[in-house]
Amino acid sequence: MHRGSNQLRLADFNQAVVLDVVRRSPGVSRAELQRRSGLSSQTISNITRRLIDDRLISESTPEGGARGRPSIPLAVNGDGAFSIGVHIDPARLTIVLLDLAGEVRRQQQLRTPQATHPTEVTSLIADRVAALMAEAGVDRDRVLGLGIAAPGPLDVRAGVVLDPPQLPNWRGVQLRADLHDATGLPVLLDKDVTAAATAELRSLNDTSTDFVFLYLGSGVGASVVVENQVLRGTTNNIGEIGDIIVDPDAEQLEGFGRRGGLAAACVPEALVIQAARLGLLPLPNLDDYLAIDDSCTELCRLASGGNGGATRILRRAAARVAVGLGVLVNLLDVPRVVIGGPLWNRLSDTFLPVLPELVSAELVATRDDVVVAGSAVGEHVAAQGAGELVLDHFLAPRPSALMVG
Amino acid sequence: MHRGSNQLRLADFNQAVVLDVVRRSPGVSRAELQRRSGLSSQTISNITRRLIDDRLISESTPEGGARGRPSIPLAVNGDGAFSIGVHIDPARLTIVLLDLAGEVRRQQQLRTPQATHPTEVTSLIADRVAALMAEAGVDRDRVLGLGIAAPGPLDVRAGVVLDPPQLPNWRGVQLRADLHDATGLPVLLDKDVTAAATAELRSLNDTSTDFVFLYLGSGVGASVVVENQVLRGTTNNIGEIGDIIVDPDAEQLEGFGRRGGLAAACVPEALVIQAARLGLLPLPNLDDYLAIDDSCTELCRLASGGNGGATRILRRAAARVAVGLGVLVNLLDVPRVVIGGPLWNRLSDTFLPVLPELVSAELVATRDDVVVAGSAVGEHVAAQGAGELVLDHFLAPRPSALMVG
């Protein structure tokens, strides 16, 4: 019997410090660990021994050539622990299995059940999480926890989904407690945009470039990274940008907040309504996010195929999104915009060729070198971020209190 | 002869650490300093001795009652060093003298010369700075430096005013070098909104509430404080918000960027144009910020006196500003908005009674407890912040490289 992740969950502060350094600096030696952590040689020796026994870190062969006893490189053992990240978009459910090194071992995308009650979604997640662990041959007690990325507004501290406009029937849902009951795993709930920025930041590998992350899915949102920190806002609900006016001449669309707002400019529901008004597509059932998502896929397919009306709709959306990005960049003075989320893959062909120039035209003079790029992580960015937030929770020396279990 | 501020300018890192702790914790003992700084007892003893000799800190009488040798409380000596802060608004020039403890010793507001060349402003500042030091009886070599808060966009690292739309004829002005030549003092240049947020944050005394600062002067801007840090943006030009659309139905005003934008909604020039269109006031010379400022003062006076047209103009401005604040709060998830700048005193009577409710109506559900308040520092907030940035430059253990001299 090994202590495994249970041991990790109960880790003391010093062990967390050591594991954090090893995780961020693969190949680090005990002497270097001692120097960086300020801990005694004996403490480092004890902790690394315990972490090796628990298969959380491992030694590799030292490089020869140095005088004296060579130092032994340490690195985290990917198989030592895992986390699972789930991203709940109203139309798409994305699940990833991350190992201790942050590598994606498995990923999966499903259609989100258009449930009359959220427990259908909870049950599906619990089933898929169990299946994913089984398929990957991962012991349950090696899984540190389950991270959930969901649309806001959330009460992150209480683990509750408040009343997201994009998830009807999800009012005051105790999602964290429900999923803990359904899976037996510790569960962490965070906002989709925060999770996405976390994964994107990690993927940039300390290039220390501030950026805004624009999330495009069934809804629209943003997050902000400043000096390698993901800002989360005082109530952990950063990034509500749907009401930013991006086209004062836009026609009114019912149900999208302010006329000419960013949500009405780019969420799938608004795009398919615009397409239906032009007769490009039949209007889908607007209570069914799957039908909307399918319609939006068809709209993007039409545009890729050269359909003039579809192309005009998406180009207009790009122009409006550029106005919104201009607001964010002018306000925050960031040199980089990253765009991702479940809708992005379908829009990027139309958006990326025109967006940099459109955004540039919105900026005050000092910032015309802003980079506009698609997510380097990909469509599972928010799910991966949710998994990374779980790893951070256990591996960072300052664990937060956002977890149950 | 004492080494005074020259000594301080050349301070080593350890001395900066010690002085920083004393500054932030008046009454701290040597033992506590040792604990907080991690420096040796001997080093603390040497450094505090040097700081006392230089009149930068002083000892006060220990409280009795404790066993053993009582610890002697240390505090910065306000008279030990000074800084001067200048805020250049196109219509108003504000100058403050700060002591080492951050107290305002003198303050003064002047009309900004409507110069054909910026050197007129530079000369005036140099004259007033010399007069202020003389009036206050402050030795020149006790003045650490001169901080300048100016409208952006700036090249803060180079100390250059780039091309602020609100300062015509100020294109690529080497303001930091010019003022160093004119005053002989070290000079630091920073953005008005950044300086204002710095002073406001200091005045809040570590209550650690995130906030957005809305700057209202001849122009409009914003700054953001997150976890006791003033965000400044990658190019130090945070807070360009004038183009945020706040009223899609607004009429076009030439020269204010986007139709319906925030600048067109609330800067004095736009307000007096609106008043002139209604026949409330003669249209002032729009190339003269003093004439605009005077007209705007008259408009506010009319509103305070019950004039219906003037009141409607300012109430409409408040409603539009509320939309802009809604964008900032929804995006950044801050619990507090602080408004200040040279225009604020004239608007606060009209704005403050209505703004909290108007802003609240703009917010997503989780944030309807956002506080909207006027600056606690007052009209000289940006000048005071410029002075505090100078103190921080010399007193913080991580001095930046933004100073010449």
- B33-42 pLDDT, tens digit per residue, is 999 888 899 9
Answer for the pair A73, A378: CB distance below 8 angstroms, yes or no. no
Q: Within an 8 Å CB–CB cutoff, is residue A366 touching chain B?
A: yes
Residues of A in contact with B328 (CB under 8 A): 331
| Contact call for A248 and B249, based on CB within 8 A | yes
| pLDDT values of chain B reduced to their tens digit, one per residue, 405 residues | 333 444 454 457 788 889 889 988 889 999 999 998 888 999 999 999 999 998 899 998 877 655 666 789 999 999 999 999 999 999 999 999 999 999 999 999 999 998 668 889 999 999 999 999 999 999 999 999 999 999 999 999 999 999 888 777 888 999 999 999 999 999 999 999 999 999 999 998 756 689 999 999 999 999 999 999 999 999 999 999 999 999 999 998 888 878 899 999 999 999 999 999 999 999 999 999 999 999 999 999 999 999 999 999 999 999 999 999 999 999 999 999 999 999 999 999 999 999 999 999 999 876 668 999 999 999 999 999 999 999 988 777 754 444 555
CA distance A158 to B192: 39
Report the gap between the CA of B69 and the closest CA in chain A (Å): 32
ipTM of the complex: 0.92
Q: Which two tokens stand for residue A318?
A: 């790009």
| Contact call for A333 and B241, based on CB within 8 A | no
Question: Considering Cα of A265, then A271, then A276, then A279, what sign does the dihedral take?
Answer: positive
Q: What value does the mean pLDDT of chain B take?
A: 90
Q: Within an 8 Å CB–CB cutoff, is residue B326 touching chain A?
A: yes
Q: Within an 8 Å CB–CB cutoff, is residue A162 touching chain B?
A: yes
Any alpha helices (H) in A305-354, and if so which ranges? Answer: 308-332, 344-351
Report the gap between the CA of A238 and the closest CA in chain B (Å): 5
| Cα atoms found within 13 Å of the Cα of residue A305, Cβ hemisphere only | 9
What ranges do the domains of chain A cover?
A: 4-79, 81-198+381-404, 205-374
- Crossing angle for the helix pair A289-304 and A308-332, nearest 10 degrees? 110
Closest chain A CA to residue B155: A366
| Contact call for A327 and B244, based on CB within 8 A | yes
CATH class of A205-374: alpha beta
Q: Within an 8 Å CB–CB cutoff, is residue A12 touching chain B?
A: no
- Report the relative pairing of strands B211-216 and B220-226 from DSSP bridges: antiparallel
Q: Within an 8 Å CB–CB cutoff, is residue B238 touching chain A?
A: yes
Identical fold at B4-79 and B207-374? no
Task: State pLDDT tens for residues B2-15.
Answer: 334 444 544 577 88
| Contact call for A245 and B260, based on CB within 8 A | yes
Report the gap between the CA of B213 and the closest CA in chain A (Å): 12
The listed CATH number (3.40.50.720, 3.40.50.300, 3.30.420.40, 3.40.50.10280) that belongs to domain B207-374: 3.30.420.40
Within its chain, how far is the Cα of A235 from the centroid? 18
Task: Name the percent of chain B in helix, strand, coil, to the closest 5.
Answer: 45, 20, 40
CATH placement of domain B4-79: 1.10.10.10
Q: Which of A234, A327, A333 shows the shortest C-beta gap to B334?
A: A234
pLDDT at residue B149, rounded to an integer: 98
Report the gap between the CA of A42 and the closest CA in chain B (Å): 22
Q: Within an 8 Å CB–CB cutoff, is residue A237 touching chain B?
A: yes
Q: Within an 8 Å CB–CB cutoff, is residue A283 touching chain B?
A: no
Mutation pick from B331, B336, B367, B369 vs chain A, by most beta carbons of A within 10 Å, is: B331
Report the gap between the CA of B58 and the closest CA in chain A (Å): 34
The architecture that CATH gives domain B81-198+381-404 is: 2-Layer Sandwich (3.30)
Q: Which of A163, A323, A367 shows the shortest C-beta gap to B365?
A: A163
CA distance B263 to B250: 12
CA distance A381 to A87: 9
Q: Within an 8 Å CB–CB cutoff, is residue A328 touching chain B?
A: yes
Residues of A in contact with B248 (CB under 8 A): 245, 248-249, 259-260
Answer for the pair B44, B18: CB distance below 8 angstroms, yes or no. yes
